[in-house]
C-alpha cells in the first residue's frame, strides 16, 4: 500500500467520523476568522517579534489544528477570490472566481444555490461581515455577492449593502458614493449615481466612520450597523520605503483595529436568538505582505493576533460557538533569517529578497526577549510579490472544533462551518 493510499484512507475515515459526530450534536454559531495570506512562517515571525521565540501568541492557544490544502480546480496555488468562494460554497472552483465558477452559476456543497452566509440569513440567523480592507474584498464580499469579475467593485459593493447582513464593517467609501460626492474619507467614484450610504440609511443601518463612533455604539440597542472606515483599505499597502517617503502610517489614523470591529460586531449579532454567522478578515496581512513590506506585515500580524484574543475573550462564557481560522494562500513566502545588529543584507546567500525595518537595507528587526531574557536580530526574506501555497493551517476553538482534522481541504472549512450552523449537509 502506498503512502498516497494511506492518506486517502485516513482522509475518508476522518470525513466519515466528522459526519457521524455532528449528527449527534446540536447546532451552534460560527466565527470564521480569515487572516488572509498567513502561513506558519508568518505566525513564527509574529511570535518572535511580539512575544519572543519562547512566547505564546493568542493563535498558539487554539487547540484544534489541521494542515490546509488550498489548491484550486485549475492550479495548485489559491487566489483570494477563488479561495473565498470555496470557503463560502464548499466546492472547488477555478482560480478566477468570485461567488461563481468563473462565469458559471454555482451550487454549494449543501445543494443550495446560496452561499453559507446567505443560507444563514435565509434561516433567520444574524450575519456579520467584518473587513480591514475595502468592502468588495473577496474574503468577506464573496459570502454575499457573486460576480463575473472581482474588478466590478461597484456592483459588488451594492450587493454587500443590499445583502441583509446585520453588520457590515470595512473601508471602501469610494465604492459607496457617486462621483462628485465628498465623503468623510474622500470623493466617491460610482458612475451610476447611486449613493449606497443613503441606501444603507434607508435599510435601517446606523452608519459610523471611525473608531470613536464605532466604540460609542451601544451593542444592546444597535441592530444594524455599517462601518465605513477608509476611502479604500484601512491600511496603506505599499512598500515600506514608499510609506516612509510619503509619510504614511501602515494603518489609517482613526480607523478601528480588526479586533475592535470584531468586538462590536459580535456583541450585536450574538443577541440574535436564532444564532449568528460572522466572517472576519484581516486583509492587511495579505496585501501588505504582497508588497514585501516586512514591518507593515508584522504590524498586521500583531493586529490579527490581538483579534484572536478578543474573539477568545468573547467565547469564554459560551459553549455554543465555533471559532475556525484559515488563510487561503501564503503571501510573499515570508521567511525569518538570522541577522547581526545593524542593517540587513540585500539578499540571502541564495539570492532571496531580504528586508529590515525600513525596507531594503533597513535595520534588522529585534525579537522580544526569549526565556533567558535575550533578544535576537533578524531580517525578513521574501519569495517575491507572489502568493504561494506555503504552510497554511486551519486552527479552531470552541464548539465542534474537534471536527478540525489533521488534513483539511479548503472545502472542509465550509463543511465544518455548515454542519455547525445547520447540521448535516443537505438537511
* 157-186 confidence digits (pLDDT tens): 999 999 999 999 999 999 999 999 999 999
Residue 8 has pLDDT above 70, yes or no: no
344 in the same domain as 305: no
Percent pLDDT > 90 in the chain is 90
365 in the same domain as 285: no
CA distances (Å), origin 341, targets 21, 295, 364: 53, 16, 6
361 in the same domain as 251: no
With respect to residue 410, please indicate whether it lies within any of the assigned structural domains. yes
Question: Nearest 5°: CA angle at 291, between 290 and 295?
Answer: 105
339 in the same domain as 249: no
Model confidence at 26, in pLDDT bands (50, 70, 90)?
confident
**Owning domain of residue 348:** 334-382
With respect to residue 318, please indicate whether it lies within any of the assigned structural domains. yes
Longest CA–CA separation in the chain, Å: 68
CA distances (Å), origin 393, targets 60, 323, 328, 422: 12, 14, 9, 24
138 with 80: CB under 8 angstroms?
A: yes
* 202-240 confidence digits (pLDDT tens): 999 999 999 999 999 999 999 999 999 999 999 999 999
* Overall pTM surpassing 0.95 (yes/no): no
Lowest mean pLDDT among 9-13, 59-63, 141-145, 330-334: 9-13
340 in the same domain as 223: no
With respect to residue 5, please indicate whether it lies within any of the assigned structural domains. no
* 35-53 confidence digits (pLDDT tens): 999 999 999 999 999 999 9
With respect to residue 23, please indicate whether it lies within any of the assigned structural domains. no
265 in the same domain as 310: yes
With respect to residue 14, please indicate whether it lies within any of the assigned structural domains. no
With respect to residue 307, please indicate whether it lies within any of the assigned structural domains. yes
CATH number of the domain residue 240 falls in: 3.40.720.10
DSSP H or E stretch at residue 82: helix 80-89
With respect to residue 280, please indicate whether it lies within any of the assigned structural domains. yes
Question: What is the number of structural domains in the chain?
Answer: 2
Backbone angles phi, psi at 147, to 5 degrees: -155, 150
Tally: H helices and E strands in the chain: 13, 16
157 vs 239: CA distance, rounded Å = 27
CA dihedral 90, 92, 93, 98 (to 10 degrees): 30
302 with 369: CB under 8 angstroms?
A: no
Q: What is the 3-state secondary structure (H, E, C) of 149-194?
A: CCCCHHHHHHHHHCCCCCEEEEECHHHCCEECCECCCCEECECCCC
226 in the same domain as 359: no
364 in the same domain as 306: no
User: Would you tell me the crossing angle of helices 3-23 and 410-422 to the nearest 10 degrees?
Assistant: 10
329 in the same domain as 351: no
* 272-305 confidence digits (pLDDT tens): 999 999 999 999 999 999 999 999 999 999 999 9
Model confidence at 390, in pLDDT bands (50, 70, 90)?
confident
366 in the same domain as 324: no
Residue whose entry in the numeric block shows the C-alpha cell 525579537: 367
283 in the same domain as 338: no
Residue closest to 169 by CA, chosen among 272, 260, 305:
260
346 in the same domain as 329: no
Which region, left, alpha or beta, applies to residue 418 given φ > 0 means left and ψ of -120 to 50 means alpha?
Answer: alpha
Residue 340 has pLDDT above 90, yes or no: yes
Amino acid at each position: 500500500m502506498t503512502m498516497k493510499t494511506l492518506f486517502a484512507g485516513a482522509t475518508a475515515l476522518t470525513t466519515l467520523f466528522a459526519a457521524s459526530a455532528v449528527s449527534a450534536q446540536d447546532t451552534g454559531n460560527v466565527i470564521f476568522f480569515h487572516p488572509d495570506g498567513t502561513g506558519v512562517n508568518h505566525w513564527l515571525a509574529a511570535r518572535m517579534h511580539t512575544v519572543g521565540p519562547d512566547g505564546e501568541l493568542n493563535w498558539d492557544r487554539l487547540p484544534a489544528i489541521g494542515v490546509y490544502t488550498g489548491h484550486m480546480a485549475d492550479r495548485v496555488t489559491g487566489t483570494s477570490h477563488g479561495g473565498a468562494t470555496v470557503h463560502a460554497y464548499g466546492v472547488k472552483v477555478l482560480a478566477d472566481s468570485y461567488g461563481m465558477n468563473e462565469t458559471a452559476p454555482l451550487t454549494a456543497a449543501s445543494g443550495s444555490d446560496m452561499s453559507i452566509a446567505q443560507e444563514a440569513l435565509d434561516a433567520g440567523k444574524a450575519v456579520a461581515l467584518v473587513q480591514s480592507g475595502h468592502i468588495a474584498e473577496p474574503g468577506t464580499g464573496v459570502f454575499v455577492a457573486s460576480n463575473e469579475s472581482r474588478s466590478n467593485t461597484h456592483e459588488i459593493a451594492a450587493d454587500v449593502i443590499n445583502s441583509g447582513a446585520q453588520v457590515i464593517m470595512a473601508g471602501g467609501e469610494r465604492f459607496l458614493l457617486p462621483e462628485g460626492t465628498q465623503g468623510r474619507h474622500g470623493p466617491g467614484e460610482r458612475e451610476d449615481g447611486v449613493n449606497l450610504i443613503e441606501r444603507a440609511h434607508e435599510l435601517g443601518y446606523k452608519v459610523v466612520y471611525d473608531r470613536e463612533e464605532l466604540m460609542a455604539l451601544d451593542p444592546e440597542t444597535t441592530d444594524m450597523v455599517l462601518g465605513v472606515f477608509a476611502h479604500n483599505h484601512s491600511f496603506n499597502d505599499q512598500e515600506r520605503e514608499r510609506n516612509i517617503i510619503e509619510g504614511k502610517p501602515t494603518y489609517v489614523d482613526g480607523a478601528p483595529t480588526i479586533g475592535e470591529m470584531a468586538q462590536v460586531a459580535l456583541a450585536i449579532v450574538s443577541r440574535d436568538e436564532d444564532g449568528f454567522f460572522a466572517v472576519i478578515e484581516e486583509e492587511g496581512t495579505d496585501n501588505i505582505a504582497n508588497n514585501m513590506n516586512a514591518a507593515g506585515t508584522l504590524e498586521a500580524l500583531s493586529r490579527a493576533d490581538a483579534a484572536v484574543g478578543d474573539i477568545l475573550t468573547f467565547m469564554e462564557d459560551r459553549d455554543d460557538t465555533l471559532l475556525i481560522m484559515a488563510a487561503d494562500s501564503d503571501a510573499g513566502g515570508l521567511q525569518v533569517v538570522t541577522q547581526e545588529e545593524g542593517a540587513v543584507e540585500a539578499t540571502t546567500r541564495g539570492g532571496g529578497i531580504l528586508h529590515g525595518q525600513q525596507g531594503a537595507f533597513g535595520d534588522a528587526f529585534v525579537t522580544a526577549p526569549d526565556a533567558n531574557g535575550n533578544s535576537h536580530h533578524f531580517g525578513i526574506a521574501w519569495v517575491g510579490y507572489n502568493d504561494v501555497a506555503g504552510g497554511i493551517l486551519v486552527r479552531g476553538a470552541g464548539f465542534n472544533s474537534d471536527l478540525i482534522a489533521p488534513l483539511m481541504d479548503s472545502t472542509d472549512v465550509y463543511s465544518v462551518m455548515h454542519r455547525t450552523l445547520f447540521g448535516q449537509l443537505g438537511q
